């Protein structure tokens, strides 16, 4: 696949998010769900407080992940890094990134919190505006081949401009390595979109289905998943 990643629709303000019409789908373990899906629970591997040694998603999300994996060329598989994320883990990530920003020289201000919330959602228990991962409808992932994970241009959770899904679409005179990263991002993006997901434009690895972010992008009148 070598087609461009399109310009995404503008993110809606939190106050304009669709309502939630919870369909009560269960959370499903992806461990050994299908050979086309590898589970690498990255936050558990990092020892983050509250992280699980598995990746859980809503059952329809699991089905669609398998659809996406089956669209990959032979020899490639999806690697799921994170799915359902309890509030304890969300809080730990929030605190970690906030500390990183402070260490980089940011001061506590509106601008700092805007940057923080761009990459890590507030760990709120508000049932009307749950963090994406708390719903079981958000998933972070990459692609692996026979020689390991494909090059995507940044590591997972690299909170810089390079992490934007379309970063390489906006540049001219790409190096050979950047061209490979662009092709790999396009592959991940298009198999996930074809399976019914939407992408968070600031993170090439993050995709949504059934939650408020997905409903806002697709024009659905309400989200299927609230917080779990």
Closest CA to 68 of 192, 187, 168: 192
Comparing 7-11, 50-54, 82-86, 167-171, the range with the smallest average pLDDT is 7-11
What is residue 120's predicted lDDT score, i.e. its pLDDT?
87
Rounded mean pLDDT of 82-109? 93
Token pair of 149 as six digits: 């994970």
What is residue 183's predicted lDDT score, i.e. its pLDDT?
97
Distance in angstroms (rounded) separating the CA atoms of residues 179 and 215? 32
Q: Are 105 and 25 in contact (CB under 8 A)?
A: no
**Residue-wise pLDDT tens digits, 22-53:** 999 999 999 999 999 999 999 999 999 899 99
Is 60 exceeded by the pLDDT of residue 1?
no
CA angle 194, 200, 202 (to 5 degrees): 130
Work out the pLDDT band at 78, boundaries 50, 70, 90: very high
Token pair of 145 as six digits: 């081949």
Comparing 1-5, 6-10, 65-69, 187-191, the range with the smallest average pLDDT is 1-5
- DSSP code at position 227: -
What is residue 9's predicted lDDT score, i.e. its pLDDT?
78
What is residue 17's predicted lDDT score, i.e. its pLDDT?
87
Work out the pLDDT band at 11, boundaries 50, 70, 90: low
């Amino acid at each position: 696949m070598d087609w461009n990643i399109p310009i995404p629709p503008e993110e809606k303000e939190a106050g304009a998010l669709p309502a939630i019409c919870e369909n009560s789908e269960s959370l499903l373990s992806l461990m050994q769900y299908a050979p086309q899906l590898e589970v690498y629970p990255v936050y558990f591997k990092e020892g983050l407080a509250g992280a699980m040694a598995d990746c859980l998603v809503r059952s329809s999300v699991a089905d669609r992940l398998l659809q996406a994996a089956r669209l990959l060329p032979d020899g490639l598989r999806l690697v799921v890094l994170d799915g359902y994320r309890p509030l304890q883990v969300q809080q730990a990530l929030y605190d970690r990134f906030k500390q990183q920003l402070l260490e980089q020289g940011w001061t506590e201000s509106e601008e700092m919190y805007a940057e923080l919330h761009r990459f890590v959602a507030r760990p709120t228990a508000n049932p009307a505006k749950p963090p994406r991962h708390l719903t079981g409808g958000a998933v972070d992932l990459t692609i692996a081949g026979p020689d390991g994970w494909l090059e995507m241009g940044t590591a997972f959770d690299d909170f810089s401009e390079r992490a934007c899904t379309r970063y390489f679409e906006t540049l001219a005179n790409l190096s050979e390595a950047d061209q490979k990263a662009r092709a790999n991002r396009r592959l991940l993006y298009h198999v996930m979109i074809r399976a019914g997901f939407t992408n968070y434009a600031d993170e090439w690895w993050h995709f949504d289905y059934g939650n408020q972010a997905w409903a806002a992008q697709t024009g659905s009148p309400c989200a299927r998943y609230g917080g779990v």
